[in-house]
Structure formats: C-alpha cells, structure tokens
C-alpha cells in the first residue's frame, strides 16, 4: 500500500501528456516482451484446457450411492471419476469418501510424473486391458496412472475402451501443457504479463483514488454549506417565511447530495477492491504453481462478504432514492408554510417506515443468496415460507393488528413524527413511529412505547394548527366592560408584535364572561397559533396580562363568603367587622 501511495504521488506531479506517454510506453514494452509472437488461432485453441463434458448430469442424482469428483492438474479440470459410497450398518454414508481417495491418488501420480526429468517429446499416454478384470488401465510411459471403471464410462455415456481412448488424449495434452508451463522462457513471459497486470491495475487504482479525493473535497465543501445554511435557518426572523421554506428545501437537497457522495465513495472503494482482487486472480492463473489458489478468490466466504457489501450498498442507494422521491412530493405539494410543515412531518414518518421496509427486503434477499451459496435449495424454502407464515400469523395476531392499525394511522395522517399527541392517559412528543409501535417522549423525558393496535382514540395537539384556551378570574367588583377592554387591547398588542405575529395565526378572540360565582368573573380567551406554539404563546400572554392587570388595578378573583351571627344566642352583635359582646 505504501508503494502504491508513492506511485500515486509521483503520478500527480506529472502533467497529463507525460503521464499518458509513460503509461503507453510501459504497457507496449511489457506487452511485446510478454508476447514476442502473436499466437495463431490453432495455437490458441491448443492452449485452451480440454474438458470433457458430462453428458449424464443426472447420473449422481439417480444413484445416491455413487459419488463423483473432478480431477485437476495445475488448476485445470481434466475429467471426472466415480466411486461407490461406503455405507455403515445403519445405511449411512461415512465421512471418508472413496472418490476423494481415488482423485487424490490420480492427482499425486500426475504431479509426480510432471516433476520427473522427462523430455516433452517422450511423453506417451496409453491404455491396456487388464486380463483379470477386463478393465482399461492407463499408463504414462509404462507407469501406472489409473483404472477406468465401468461407472466412469457410464458417466460419460460411452463404453470403457472408448472413454479410455479419450482420456489418454486429455491426459497427454495436459501433461505436455504442464511441462511447457514449467519452462524458464514461459515463466519469464508470464512474469512480464503479471507485471503488465500490476501496472494497469495500479493506474486504475490511482485514477479511482484521485476521483475519490475529488469527491471528498466536494463533500467537505457541501458539508460546510449545509452547516452555514442550517445556522441561518435557526437565526432567521419569523417574517421570512417563504424564504425560510426555500432555504430548508435547499438544505434537504444538499443533504441528499452529501449522501450520494457517500455512495460514490463507497462504490469507488469497492471498485478498487475489485481491481486488486481481479489482478490477483489473473496473476495467480498465470503460473502453474499458483493456479490452484484461484478458487479461493471466489470461495464461499468471500462471496458472502461481497453479498454483505452489496446489500449494504443497495440499502444506502434505496434510502437515497426514497429521500429523493419524497422530496419531489414535498416540493410539488408546497402551498403554504403551514401545509409545508405538516407535509414535512408526514414525509419524515413515511421516510422512516419505507427505509425500514427497504432494509428488511434487501437483508432478506442477502440471506437467501447466502443460503444458496452454501447449497441450500431456496425454492422449497420459499414455498414452505407461505405455510410457515400462515402458522405464524395465527400465533402473532397482535403483531398483524399492530401493522394494520399502523398502516391506517399513516394513510389517514392521524399523527406523524414531531406531533404532540394524547393516547388514553399518556401524552407526549412522537419521537419514533413505524408500522408496529409508536414511541412518545413525555414531559419528564420518559420514552413511552405504545403498540399501534392499542391506539383507538388519539388526540393530536399539533396538527395543522393549535389553540390557546386561556381563562382568567377577576374580582367580582371589577367593572366588566373595563376588564374586557383591557384584555382586548392586550390581545391586539401581542398580535401586532413582530416576534409573536408569526406564531399567532388569527386575531385573538376575547369570548367574554363565561362564569360568575363567589370567586368573581371568569373571562375566556382563544388564541389560534401555529402547531406546537400554543404553550409559548400562552405563557407570554399570561405574563403580559399580569402586568396589565396590576397597572389597571384589576384584582384577581378571590373566594368570598358572609357570616351571620344571631344576637339572641348571647354572643353579642357584629358592628364594622367586630364582634361586640353583651
């Protein structure tokens, strides 16, 4: 990695012409060194590994006690052999597979002959019929290699001698190729090819790294712009309503762009990993000593890792598409600031639910793909999932009710994330919501989780608009018209205030005297406000009302009573508030 970084730093210092010239020069030099003479079509076809097709693919399936396995030489599959499975008294196949033993013996014999100092032109592969068993036996320069069994021939749909004749050609060509690939000139050419692959992969890795750094710089710039505009949003005055909404839409779009940059960077990293992995795979395939390691590159554990990365990328891409789609809906239905605020709450809720569904879908696909890699037949699994789902549905009726009721809550817009609601005796701020549960945060900071099926009657205190229902009791001897006039002037003064004008939607209504009792007169005021602003407006109105009542000499209502004392009881009489005894 350090060497690659140094090469990338050096390439950055070169201008484009020098960079292209050096790259083309190195590629052409190594190419013509590795390929001094372009092969003809016949030579190319001779170098292609010879693999005999399996004409009876159902052979093993129809005979469960027969095992098959391929024979390899230098990473190339040559042919397939068979063997009967050994069974125990319980009719169970043992872990020790005879076919594996047979394959190991044949491969060891092939490798042993390849390592012998035998000239290529002296290689002769023949077969003879064994007099005792009447089975063809294959020899390499009179050295025993293997016996062609009747099952081997049946697997290919041939008789024994014909299959033995085919095998001699396959084995002889494979041995010649193995000998040629171990010659010094061939290894030098392969080394030059490996060097060419390393050079090309390094160039592409540097290009992707440069693009990734450029995206990172754009992302940092976008992040600073988002931070600045978010700070502006928090400091804007109330009258800048339309501009506030447009700025908020810009912030949302820039946040989506920031997330897209994250996906691009992740894809570039995956591209670098793919380039390095492909280069290693190609280089391993160039040499006979390392070609057997090629299957490790696309082995099952690595496939599972790539499936996990793919699922992660698809979830991120799906989330970005959901945000983009909902942002288009939000922009197209923008009419008034109040509608925009309400729609934003709904979109936030729908976004959380859709992202959860998106994650569940792709994780399920990833799990099924992983199971298929381990040889699990997912078709019966999917077919049985319906029956299992039916059984689970009876055992989880509460969960189904939660999901159904949660769907209706979303579709009917009963409440959304960011609303303040009252459910039965529980009230709080809707902090999280999905198809199964609703989570509220109450005044004391407690997180309350309510299953959606338990929500039958809900009070939404913040949908579209809110109202302050304020009452004040004044003393009984207060002149009614004077008290109502004072409160009316206070309401007008607060409505005209620039700070509170945005939060109060309509002129406050002084309804009048609602009640007269021994405490005094009860005066009711209604103030229509923006959602979630009723408490702040009510607190400010009460503060101002207290100051105005003190200035105007209006007293608060106090419970009053009259006590009557009878003189004939010998307790005296009451004069000027004093009890005079006899």
- pLDDT for the residue 504: 87
Least Cα distance to 255 among 351, 323, 342 occurs for 323
- pLDDT for the residue 195: 92
Instruction: Assess whether pLDDT exceeds 70 at residue 15.
Output: no
**Interior CA angle at 518 toward 515 and 520, to 5°?**
55
Q: Which residue has the tokens 């010879």?
A: 50
Q: Are 401 and 416 in contact (CB under 8 A)?
A: no
- pLDDT for the residue 120: 85
Instruction: Assess whether pLDDT exceeds 80 at residue 166.
Output: yes
- pLDDT for the residue 570: 52
Which of 249-253, 530-534, 540-544 comes out lowest in average pLDDT? 249-253
- pLDDT for the residue 117: 84
- pLDDT for the residue 264: 82
Instruction: Assess whether pLDDT exceeds 80 at residue 571.
Output: no
Let me know how long the chain is.
Answer: 582
- pLDDT for the residue 358: 87
Higher pLDDT, 299 or 95: 299
pLDDT level of residue 95 (50, 70, 90 thresholds): low
Fold of 404-460: SH3 type barrels. (2.30.30)
Please say whether the structural domain 466-552 has been given the CATH code 3.40.50.1010.
no
CA distance readout (Å), 252 to 236, 357, 362, 419, 577: 17, 22, 25, 20, 73
Measured from the Cβ of residue 210, the count of other Cβ atoms closer than 10 Å reads 14
Higher pLDDT, 353 or 204: 204
Q: Per residue in 325-346, is it b (16+ CB within 10 Å) or e — as a string?
A: ebbeebeeebeeeeebbbbbbb
Instruction: Assess whether pLDDT exceeds 50 at residue 91.
Output: no
Least Cα distance to 76 among 370, 292, 378 occurs for 292
**Pair of tokens at residue 49:** 């590994």
Q: Are 500 and 534 in contact (CB under 8 A)?
A: no
Q: What is the pLDDT of residues 499-514, one digit of tens each?
A: 888 888 888 888 888 8
* Pairing label, strands 520-529, 466-474: antiparallel
Q: What is the pTM of this model?
A: 0.54
Looking at the chain, the whole-number percentage of residues with pLDDT higher than 70 is 71
| Averaged pLDDT for residues 172-200 | 90
Instruction: Assess whether pLDDT exceeds 60 at residue 240.
Output: no
Least Cα distance to 312 among 278, 263, 275 occurs for 263
How far, in Å, CA of 580 to CA of 203, rounded?
114
- Dihedral over alpha carbons 257, 259, 261, 265 (to 10 degrees): -170
- Dihedral over alpha carbons 416, 418, 424, 425 (to 10 degrees): 170
CA distance readout (Å), 41 to 37, 44, 146, 172, 193: 13, 5, 33, 21, 20
Who's near 428: CB < 8 A, 6+ residues apart? 420, 421, 440, 441, 442, 443, 448
Instruction: Assess whether pLDDT exceeds 80 at residue 46.
Output: no
Instruction: Assess whether pLDDT exceeds 80 at residue 34.
Output: no
What mean pLDDT is reported for the chain? 76
Q: Are 251 and 233 in contact (CB under 8 A)?
A: yes
Which of 52-66, 256-270, 411-425 comes out lowest in average pLDDT? 52-66
| Averaged pLDDT for residues 327-355 | 65
- pLDDT for the residue 38: 39
Where do the structural domains in the chain lie, given as residue ranges?
59-181, 404-460, 466-552
Highest mean pLDDT among 2-11, 285-294, 542-551: 542-551
| Averaged pLDDT for residues 422-432 | 86
Higher pLDDT, 292 or 34: 292
Instruction: Assess whether pLDDT exceeds 70 at residue 575.
Output: no
How far, in Å, CA of 23 to CA of 21, rounded?
5
Backbone angles phi and psi of 415, in degrees to 5: -165, 170
pLDDT level of residue 75 (50, 70, 90 thresholds): confident
pLDDT level of residue 25 (50, 70, 90 thresholds): low
DSSP codes, 226-287: HHHHHHHHHH--TT-HHHHHHHHHHHHHHHHHHHHHHHHHHHHHHHHHHHHHHHHHHHHHHS
């Amino acid at each position: 990695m350090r060497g690659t970084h140094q090469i990338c730093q050096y390439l950055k210092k070169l201008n484009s012409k020098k960079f292209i010239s050096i790259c083309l020069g190195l590629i052409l030099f190594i190419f013509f060194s590795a390929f001094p003479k372009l092969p003809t079509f016949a030579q190319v076809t001779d170098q292609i590994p010879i693999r005999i097709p399996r004409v009876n693919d159902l052979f093993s399936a129809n005979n469960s006690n027969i095992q098959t396995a391929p024979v390899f030489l230098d990473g190339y599959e040559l042919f397939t052999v068979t063997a009967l499975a050994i069974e125990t008294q319980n009719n169970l196949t043992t872990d020790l597979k005879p076919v594996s033993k047979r394959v190991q013996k044949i491969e060891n014999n092939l490798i042993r002959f390849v390592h012998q100092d035998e000239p290529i032109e002296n290689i002769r592969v023949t077969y003879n019929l064994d007099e005792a068993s009447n089975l063809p036996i294959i020899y390499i320069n009179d050295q025993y290699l293997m016996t062609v069994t009747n099952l081997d021939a049946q697997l290919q749909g041939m008789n024994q001698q014909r299959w033995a004749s085919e095998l001699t050609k396959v084995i002889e060509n494979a041995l010649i190729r193995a000998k040629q690939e171990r010659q010094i000139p061939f290894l030098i050419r392969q080394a030059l090819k490996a060097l060419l692959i390393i050079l090309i992969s390094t160039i592409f890795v540097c290009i992707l790294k440069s693009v990734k750094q450029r995206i990172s710089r754009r992302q940092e710039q976008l992040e600073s712009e988002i931070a600045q505009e978010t700070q502006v949003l928090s400091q804007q005055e109330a009258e800048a309503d339309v501009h506030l909404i447009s700025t908020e839409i810009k912030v949302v779009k820039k946040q989506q762009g920031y997330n897209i940059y994250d996906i691009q960077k992740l894809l570039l990293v995956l591209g670098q990993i793919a380039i390095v992995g492909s280069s290693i795979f190609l280089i391993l395939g160039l040499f006979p000593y390392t070609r057997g390691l090629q299957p490790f590159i696309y082995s099952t554990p690595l496939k599972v890792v790539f499936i996990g990365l793919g699922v992660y990328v698809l979830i991120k891409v799906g989330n970005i598409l959901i945000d983009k789609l909902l942002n288009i809906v939000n922009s197209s239905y923008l009419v008034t600031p109040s509608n925009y605020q309400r729609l934003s709450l709904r979109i936030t809720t729908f976004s959380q639910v859709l992202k959860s569904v998106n994650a569940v879908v792709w994780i399920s696909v990833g799990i099924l793909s992983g199971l298929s890699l381990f040889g699990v037949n997912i078709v019966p699994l999917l077919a049985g999932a319906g029956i299992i789902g039916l059984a689970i549905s009876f055992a989880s009726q509460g969960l189904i009710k939660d999901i159904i009721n949660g769907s209706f809550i979303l579709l009917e817009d009963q409440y959304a994330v960011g609303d303040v609601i009252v459910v039965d005796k529980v009230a709080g701020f809707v902090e999280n919501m999905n198809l199964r549960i609703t989570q509220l945060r109450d005044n004391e900071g407690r997180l309350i989780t309510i299953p959606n099926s338990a929500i039958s009657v809900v009070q939404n205190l913040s949908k579209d608009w809110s109202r302050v229902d304020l009452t004040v009791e004044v003393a009984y001897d207060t002149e009614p018209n004077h008290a109502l006039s004072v409160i009316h002037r206070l309401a007008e003064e607060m409505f005209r205030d620039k700070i509170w004008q945005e939060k109060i939607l309509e002129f406050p209504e002084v309804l009048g005297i609602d009640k007269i009792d021994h405490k005094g007169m009860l005066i009711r005021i209604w103030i229509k406000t923006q959602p979630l602003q009723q408490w702040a407006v009510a607190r400010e109105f009460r503060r101002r009302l207290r100051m105005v009542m003190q200035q105007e000499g209006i007293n608060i209502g106090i419970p009053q009573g009259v006590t009557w004392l009878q003189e004939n009881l010998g307790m005296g009489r009451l004069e000027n508030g004093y009890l005079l005894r006899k």
